[in-house]
Structures are given as C-alpha cells and as structure tokens.
Structure 1
Amino acid sequence: MSTSTIAQTRLRGRVIQAGFWWVSGYTVNQVLRFAGNLILTRLLFPDAFGLLAIVQTVILGFTMLSDMGVAPCIVQNKRGDDSAFLNTAWTIQVVRGCLLWGLLWIASKPSAAFYEQPLLAELLPAAGLTALITGFNSTKLATADRHLEAARVTLIDLGSYAFGLVITVLWAWAEHTVWALVWGSVIGAVTKMFASHLALHGVKNWFHWDDASARTLFGFGQWVFVSSLITFLAGEGNKLLIGAMLDIHQLAFYTLASTMNVMFMQACQQVAAKVLFPSYAEIIRNHPERLYGALEKGRLAIILPGWLVAVFFVFLGDTVMRLFYDARYADSGTMLQLLAIGSLSAVMSLSYAGVLMAKGMVGRSAMLQAVQVLIQIGAMLVGHQLSGVYGLMVGLAVANWIVYFVVAIVFARLSLWHPRVDLPFLGMSAVVLFLAINYGLLPTRG
C-alpha cells in the first residue's frame, strides 16, 4: 500500500471518528439543554428567561459583528501549526475579548433604557465576562479541529457546559434569581478556558506579535466579518421581517415549525463546520486533486439523512406537530410541511458548507451568502403579497430551491458540482412533491 493511500485511509478514519464524536456531543448537549430548561423553568420566574434572552441577543450581536475568524484561519492556513502564527492569533483573540467586554459595559445602560429593564444595566457587564473569558481560550481548540481530534474537545464542551448547568441549577434552587443563569454561564466559560489550556495538546499560548501572521489573519478575517454581518442580519433581519408580516399567533406557529424543521439541519451544520471543513482544508493543503471525490462523499453523508428527514416532515409534519402540541397550535403543522419542501433542496446547498472557506475563498463565500439572503427576502415578500401567510411559507420554500441552483452554478464553475449525487435527489424530490400534492397530503390553499 502506497504512502498516499495510507494517508488517505487514515484521514478517512479520523473523519469518521470526529463525526461520531461531534454528533454524539451535539446530541448529549441538546439533551442536557432540554433537561436544564425543564428544571430551571420550575425554579425561576418567566421574566428571568426573557431578560436572559435579551442579554444573549445583545452579546451575540456584538460577538458576530466583531468576528475575525481566528479559529477557521488556523484550521485553513498552511501556517496553522506554527507557534508564531498561533500566538499572534491568540493575542488578537484576547484583545478582541477585552474590547467586547468594554463595549458591553458601554451598551449596558442604553440597552436597559431601550428595553425598559433597569436590571439589564447590571446583567450585561456580568454576562459579558463570558466574552472576555472566551478570548483567553487556548488556540489548542482550533488546532484540535484542524487535525480532527474531536474526542477531547467534545468532552471539554460537554463537561464545561454540564458543570455550568449544575451551578446554575443549584444557584437557582437556593436563590431563585436570574443571576443563577448569568453566573452559571460565566463559570462554564471559565471551566472551558482552563480546560482548553490544560487538557489539549499543542502550542502553549503567550502574547506575541508577528506582522506576517497578523496580515494573514486580518486578510482572512475581514471577509469572515462580512460573512458574520450577513449571517446576523439574515437571522435577526428575517425574524423582524417575518414578525412584521405575521400576527403574534402566526409568529408562534412559525417559530415552532421552523425550530422543528431546522433541528436536524443544525446538526448537519455542526458536522460540516467541525469535521468536513477541517478535512477539506487538509486535503487542499496536501492532495488538492482528491477534493472532488472527498467532497462528493462528504456531501452524500449529509444529504441522505437530511433529505429523508425532510421527506418525513413533508408527509407527516402535520401529524408530528399535533402529537407534540395541542389543537391551538394546529397551523404549525401546515407550516412545517411547507418549510420541509424547501429543506429537500436546502440540504443539498448546505452540503457544500466549508468548501469555499477551506479553499481560502472567504470573499466568494460571503458574496454567495449575501445572494442567498436577498433571494430569501425577495421570495418572502412576493409570496406574502400574493397569498398572505401561506404565500410567505411557500416563498421560503421556493427560495431554497432558487438558492440551490445558484449554489450549483457557483460550484460547477469550480468543477465541484456533483450531478450523479444531485440529479437523483432532485428527481426524487419532484416525485415527493407530486405525491404529496396529488394525494392531498400537502396543503394547497391560499
């Protein structure tokens, strides 16, 4: 067996192992979150969760709008194992964390006044400590991602979250205060930070500045910033737009349906970001001629289960929602079925995640993302104008199909489109849609 064949076999083994750990970790994390929510909702007053939601939204906004893409750059770049590069990246990360905390201090009083919640002036700076602490996380986390060493990272993520959750529950049981949610998160962040330095292999971090490394990091990071800005505007902007077009009850139905529809997609995104992206980057660095075949296999591994879940929701989405929720939420089943029609193609677009970034085409990735957002907004507005709530749901579904064809064109120009994977799924999706409409299983009312 040749050296290249052995390397390829080893990479495949690491990909499978990393995928197992990330999927297992994601599943356990969701179970912990669900269990934690069930316990905490019985220990705390509802307003506590409303306050925390505002805090998390503000922190998320500042975090995304200052994202420099340090971790993805370490994974992708050829110098990703060089100590000067890693310590420069860590220095940038620490400075960003300090600036984020300072900005949250500044934003705390205006946020409290805007939401008419005086307690936010105290909560935001305290919760913002997580941004400061995260800035000190070791670059060993990114190094582990780069080399697909997922086991320890997964255990660190789960262990730190579980420890923070235990502290939160005990604090809430003793004090019944929103501060339990805040300090539980901070303690979890501290635990992960120390574990990242002590429990992983790699370069020990200290303050260092290398001009060449900084230029590379900032060059990569400027497009990651644009991408994060688009992602934030797409997420929050779509929520605001949909909220403006639906009444409060319809918005509740949509939220339930959308959450159910994207649950599996989020797992796929985790695998794409934490497993496939590092593996593509390694292949591009060492054997770029193998990217087409590796991408084809990686895409199929995401498309097949995601497509089957979408088919399940197309035919049984209404039944699922009636099973989990009472008759007041019946309309969410119809919405889930329509959203699932879009997911049939969305999973094919999602399966390309990480490829452009692995190739260093961060700018093209950001532009493609911007086009996707514009298509989605346009389809939503047209659909709502033509047929109200039903048209809005159809518009969201149609947008995913249009986006797929845009993505296919982009990757065909890069000689990375896979017709023997995509065409059968497109054909089967057409059959699914025909059967659902022909047998009255899919709502067709305006």
Structure 2
Amino acid sequence: MRNLSRRISGILSDRESLRGKILASAALSTMVFAMQVVARIVSTIILTRILTPEIFGVFAVVMTFIFILEMFSDLGVRSLILTKEGELDDGFLRSCWTAQILRGILIFFVCILLAFGIAWGQGTHLFPAQSSYGDVTLPLAIAAIGGVSIIGGFASPAKFVYEREMKFRQVSVETLITLVLTTVITIALAFWLRNIWALVLGNLARAFFMVVLSYVMFTGPTMRLSWNFADFRLIIERGKWIIGHSALTAVITMADRFVFGFAMSASSFGFYYIARQIVDMVEMFLNAIHAQMGLQVFTELQKDGEPATLRRRYYRYRVLFDGLSMFGAGALMTFAPTLVHIIYDDRYADVAGMIQILAVGLILIGPGLLREAYSAQRRFREMTMLSLVRAATVWIGLVVAIWGFGSVTAALYVVALHRIPETIILLRMGRGEGWVSLLHEIRLIPLLPVGAAVGWGMAQAWAAIA
C-alpha cells in the first residue's frame, strides 16, 4: 500500500511539473512574442518607408527558395535530439553538428545553381518582366542567401538539449537578443543601401548571431567533426521520414508564394508578403509555444495510455491556442484597414483587404495541433497522408483559382481555407482514437465575434482620436 501511495504521489508530482513547465513556457513565449511584435511593427514602419513594395516582392521570392531548400534537406536534428531514447552522449551531438554543416554546404551550392538557372530564364525572357522573377537582382540575392545555411550549420546543438530538458528561459533570452540585434542592423542597412541587400544582409547577420549565441549561452561539449557510422545511420534512418514530411510542408507553405510570384506584379506580391507577415503574427506566437514544447507535451500525455485522459489534458492544453486564434481572426477582420492606415503609407492600402481574407484561416490552427500526437508516436504514415491531402488541396485550389477563374481573390481564400480537408480527416482519425470531442472543438467559436467586436471598437476609437 505504501509503494502504491508513492507511485501515485510520483505521478501527480510529474503532472504538476509538466503543467508548471507548460505555464512557464507560455509566459516566456508571450514575452518573446510581444517583443517580436514590437520589433516587427517598428521595422515594418521604417522599412516600408525606405524600401519600395517591389523590393519586398523580390525578397519574398528569395525567402521562398531558401525555405524550400532547407525543408527539402531537413534531417530533423532538433527532433532527433528531443525524442532520442536514453541519455545524449557528446559523440551523438557532434555527429548532429557535422550533419548540419554538410547540409548547409549542400544548400549553398544548390542556391548557386538556382541563381544561374534564373539568370538564364531572365535572359531568354522566360519570366514576365513585371513579376518578381524578372527582377535583375533576384539571381545574385538567391546565391547570397545560401550563405545563411552555411553559417547556421555551425550552430551548437546544445540549444536543443536545453529544449529537451524544457529549460526555456535561456532559449527565450537567446531569441530576444538575436531579434533585437537583427532588427537594428537590418534597419541600419536599409538606411544605408535602400535596396534588397539590406534584407539579405540582415538575414546573414541573424544567422551569425544565432551561431555565436549558441556557444555563449548554452553549455555543451566542444564541437568537432565526427563521422560515427552508427550515429549517422540513426540520423538518416529517422531523418528520411522527417525529410519527407518537411518537404511536403515546404510544398504546402510556399505554394502561395510560388504561384503568386508568377501571377502578381512585383508590387502586388510585395503587398501579399506584408499581409502574410501581419496575419502570421498570431500563428507565429502560437507556433512558438507549440514548437517549443508540443512534441514533449504529447509524449508525456500519451504515457498514461488512456484515451480519455489524453483527451481531457489535450483540450486543456489547447485552450490558449483556440482562444487566441479565434479572437485574433475576428479582430483582424474588422481592424485590418485601420491597422494598415496606422502602420503604412498610402502606397500599401491594398494590404488591408488581403489581411481580412487571410485572417479567416486562423480559426483552423487549433485542430491541427493533434498532428503532434502522431508525431510523438512516430506514426509517420498518418502524418505523410495528412500532408499529401493538404498539399493537393492548396496546389489544386491555387491553380484553379488563378488560371481557371483568373481570380486572385479566390486564390486568397484558397490560402486561408486550404486546411479544411486535412482538418476534417484529422478530426475523424482523432475521434476514432478516442482523442477528439466535437463539442470541445466548437466551444470557443464565440470568441470569433467577440474579437470582431473588439477590432471594430478599436477602429472606431482610433477614428475618433485621429
């Protein structure tokens, strides 16, 4: 009886510890997010007055290519370190570091090849002259952005060990320092250069700061190249699934930027890039919390083995995500025109309508968190299937909207709502597992009109003041 009491006490203590770590992570993520919002607003106000919309359109294409390359080569070093069974030895961390460096070199050389290919396409008039792909600075900018991957590859994986142990304070401080330094340098470069190179060099500076801070702020073994066959076999064996999932994520995430880069003029594409940045602030905050500890949380939740227990604790975890996404969607739908008027000059007025449409998609963030339950169980088949459904939805939808109906507005709604088929399948699967309650899925929908009312009230208050 005494042993049973001790076991129950230990379980309750573990649960309280996990809850405390979740609350601490949420508090830290909120602080980091607030700083990111302030930095983004300040930099946006300044940069949009120094740089033209066309520059943002071309830079969006640059970031599209580097994101796709990084995702298609993603070995999932972070995920491997977070989920590896047993203790982490120094040799394994050095093998991960070596893999990162090799990946960075590969990405850089592919960027060079892409730059030559785009330059050739421009010379043969393959791209519309008014599109971002027709800009003469694009090839060299893509080649230069490849340096981000080379620099970033030298970052110490000790940071991921801190995340594995849920020591998020150090991670948050590192993020804030990098954010402040990058913002200041990018703005300074924009005043000096007044072209796309301010944004490119700002990203190179960010990678450099992250590498330096990974050694200064996180204690770990001395890094050196390691060629341990057993470690590389594990990295490749598990990484191949992560590469497939990450590649599909890239295909999904960048579909809009790839298609709109061709279908829109450089200035309109710049408007879209800015609108996505604003809407993504809400999702960025929620993802910052979830990405920081979502995998660890679901791994802990599933240790009990009881679907009813997982379901109860899962929806408790989701309250913050559902509440903010519903409220944020409603607020942006009504406050977007005023927000754009406050932040930007008259050249950027078209951004408001794009924000209002894209904000609708925020309501689908919450149900998507259930994917992490399958990730924690290493059920890669289900994850791959869900990603394929989402990829097919967004690509087919965009192609039909742009080249079938010739409607950019319809394409914007596709971007906002393309998660619906995946969400339906995910909820059906989760209900079959006993993880999903349909009543809990809709319980916070009333926050959508509440957010809209608050956004409308803020707009009216600003109009009265101005």
Calculate the TM-score normalised by the size of structure 1: 0.79
Residue 158 of structure 2 is matched in structure 1 by 140
Offset, 1:40? 4.2
**SS across alignment from 2:69:** helix
User: Residues 213-252 of structure 1 correspond to what in structure 2 (within 5 A)?
Assistant: 213-241=231-259
Pick aligned residue for 1:422 from 441, 447, 451: 441
Counterpart position of 2:19: 12
**Offset, 1:225:** 1.6
User: For 2:370, which of 331, 348, 352 is the aligned residue?
Assistant: 352
Contact 1:313 1:336 in 2 (8 A): yes
Aligned residue for 1:368? 386
Contact 1:148 1:279 in 2 (8 A): no
**Correspondence for 1:303:** 322
Flag the 1:117–1:257 CA change in 2: closer, same or farther, 3 A: closer
Partner of 2:365, secondary structure, is: helix
The alignment of Structure 1 onto Structure 2 pairs a total of residues equal to: 430
Distance 1:395 1:43, change over 3 A: closer
Deviation for aligned residue 1:67: 1.2
Query: Which of 428, 432, 441 is the aligned partner of 1:409?
Result: 428
Q: CA deviation at 1:138?
A: 0.9
Counting only pairs closer than 5 Å after superposition, residues 252-331 of structure 1 correspond to structure 2 as: 259-284=277-302, 287=304, 289=306, 291-313=310-332
TM-fit CA distance, 1:331: 7.8
Instruction: Kindly indicate whether residue 114 of structure 2 is the aligned counterpart of residue 96 of structure 1.
Output: no
Q: Displacement of 1:154 after TM fit? A: 1.9
1:133, distance to aligned residue in structure 2 (A): 1.4
Relative to structure 1, is the Cα distance of residues 39 and 68 closer, same or farther in structure 2, using a 3 angstrom cutoff?
A: same
Match of 2:76? 69
- Give the Cα–Cα distance (whole angstroms) in 2 for the partners of residues 177 and 272 of structure 1: 35
Select which of 115, 124, 133 maps to 1:108: 115
Structure 1, residues 406-429: CA drift from partner, whole Å, max 9, x if none?
110122233322334114357x59
Aligned residues of 1:19 and 1:275 also touching (Cα < 8 A): no
CA distance in 1, matches of 2:188, 2:349: 37
- The alpha-carbon distance between structure 1 residues 264 and 130, as it changes in their structure 2 partners (threshold 3 A), is same
In structure 2, distance between residues paired with 1:255 and 1:185 = 16
Distance 1:378 1:104 in 2: 27
Root mean square deviation of aligned Cα: 3.9
Compared CA separation, residues 295 and 246, structure 1 to 2 (3 A): same
Q: 2: CA distance between counterparts of 1:168 and 1:244?
A: 27
Q: 1:171 to 1:240 in 2, by over 3 A?
A: closer
Identity %: 22
Q: Measured at CA, do residues 393 and 164 of structure 1 come closer, stay the same or move farther in structure 2, by a change above 3 Å?
A: closer
Q: 2:37 aligns with which of 17, 30, 36?
A: 30
- In the TM superposition, residue 44 of structure 1 has moved relative to its aligned partner by 5.8
Could you say what secondary structure the match of 2:443 adopts?
A: helix
The range that moved more, 155-164 or 35-44, is 35-44
Deviation digits for residues 193-215 of structure 1 (CA, Å, limit 9, x no counterpart): 12212211344433234434323
Q: SS of the counterpart of 1:31? A: helix
Shift of 1:371: 0.7
Describe the SS at the equivalent of 1:205: coil
TM-score by length of 2: 0.76
Q: 5+ unaligned residues in a row in structure 2: which ranges? A: 1-7, 123-133, 451-466
- Summarize the alignment of residues 197-212 of structure 1 with structure 2, pairs less than 5 Å apart: 197-212=215-230
* 1:129 maps to amino acid: G
Structure 1 unpaired stretches of 5+: 433-446
Q: Which has the higher contact order (CA 8 A, sep 6+)?
A: 2
Relative distance call for 1:244 and 1:117 in structure 2 (3 A) is closer
2:181 matched to 1:163?
Answer: yes
